[in-house]
Chains A and B, each alone.
Chain A
Amino acid sequence: MIFAMAFLVGGLICVVGQLLMDLTSYKVTPAHILVGFVTTGAILSAFGLYQPLVELAGAGALVPLTGFGHILTQGAIRGVERDGLLGVFAGPLEAAAAGVTAAIVFGYFFAILFKPKG
C-alpha cells in the first residue's frame, strides 16, 4: 500500500513540474523547477503542511526535491530545539549532510571518469 502511495504522490509531484515546464514560457528551465520545488517544500514544511504528506506517501514525498526542502527546514527546527540559536545555523545542513556530500563526491568522481557524449 505504501508503495502505491509513494508511486502516486511521487508521480503527481513530477506532473506538477512537467505542467510548469510545458505550459509556461520557455524561460522556465529545469534549473528553475529544481529551485522552485526545494523552496516550495521548505515553505510548506515550515507551516507543518509537508509532514502529513511524508506520513501518507513515505518516499513519494521525500524523494522529490520538495522533500529536500522539507529536510532542510525540519533540520533547522530540530537544531533550535537542541542547540537554540546555533541550531538555526547548523541544523539545515546537518540534516542534509549525507545527501549533499554524496552529490558532491559522486558528482566529482563521475564528472572526471566519464567523457560527455557527442
Chain B
Amino acid sequence: MRVDFTKPAGIQHKQYRNFVDRISPKPNVLVNVVWAFLVGGSIAAIGQALLTLFLMLGLPILEAGAMVAVVLIFIAAFLTGLGVFDDIARYAGAGAFVPITGFANAMVAQAMEARTEGLVLGVGARLFTIAGPVLVFGIVVAWLTGLIYFLFR
C-alpha cells in the first residue's frame, strides 16, 4: 500500500509518510553498538598501554595521564588530516567520538573545512566550533564544584 490518490489530501499525506518511513534505512543499532564497543575499547586499551609505559618511565600518575592525552590527540589529529579518521568513524561511531580522539577530530575536521575563510576567522575560529562548547560546559561545572568545595570544605 503506497498512496491512494482517490483519498483526501490529509490521508494521502499520512500514507506517504508511512511509505517513506518504511523504505528509509534504519540504523542497525546492534552492529553500531558492537563496533563502538570494539573500537572504543581498543582506543582505551592503547591509552592504557601508553599509561603503563609512561609510569614505567618514572612519570607521576597525573603527568603520565596528561602525556597519554597528548599522544592520543596527536594521533587523532594526524589521522583526521589524512582522512583516515572519517573512514574509522563511519563504522565506529561513538567508539571514535567519545574518547579524547573525538575531541581532536572535531577540532581538525572543522578547521580544515574552513581554510578558504582565512586563518583567523576560518581556521582559528572553527577549531573551537565543537571544542569551545566542550570546554565551556566542562570548565563551568568544574568551577562550580571548586567554589562549593572552597565554601563548605
Q: Identify the A interface with B (CB < 8 A).
A: 2-3, 6-23, 30-31, 33-35, 37-39, 41-43, 45-46, 57-60, 62-65, 67-69, 71-73, 75-77, 79-80, 84-85, 87-89, 91-93, 95-100, 102-104, 106-117
8 contacts between A and B (CB under 8 A): A7-B44, A11-B41, A22-B33, A77-B145, A103-B73, A106-B73, A114-B82, A114-B112
Interface 0/1 of B36-80, CB less than 8 Å to A: 111111111101111110000000001001111110111001101
A32's nearest neighbour on chain B, judged by CB, is: B133
Question: What residues of B have a CB within 8 angstroms of the CB of A23 in the complex?
Answer: 29
CB B62 to nearest CB in A, in angstroms, measures: 8
Q: Identify the B interface with A (CB < 8 A).
A: 27, 29, 32-33, 35-45, 47-52, 62, 65-70, 72-74, 77-78, 80-83, 86, 93-95, 97-100, 102-104, 106-108, 111-113, 115, 119, 123-124, 127, 129-131, 133-135, 137-139, 141-143, 145-150, 153
Q: How many contacting A-B pairs (Cβ < 8 A)?
A: 274
Contact A63 B27, beta carbon cutoff 8 Å:
no
Question: What residues of B have a CB within 8 angstroms of the CB of A84 in the complex?
Answer: 150
A39's nearest neighbour on chain B, judged by CB, is: B137
In the bound complex, CA of A66 to CA of B102 (Å) = 12
In the bound complex, CA of A17 to CA of B134 (Å) = 15
Question: What residues of B have a CB within 8 angstroms of the CB of A13 in the complex?
Answer: 40, 98
Contact B112 A15, beta carbon cutoff 8 Å:
no
In the bound complex, CA of A31 to CA of B100 (Å) = 13
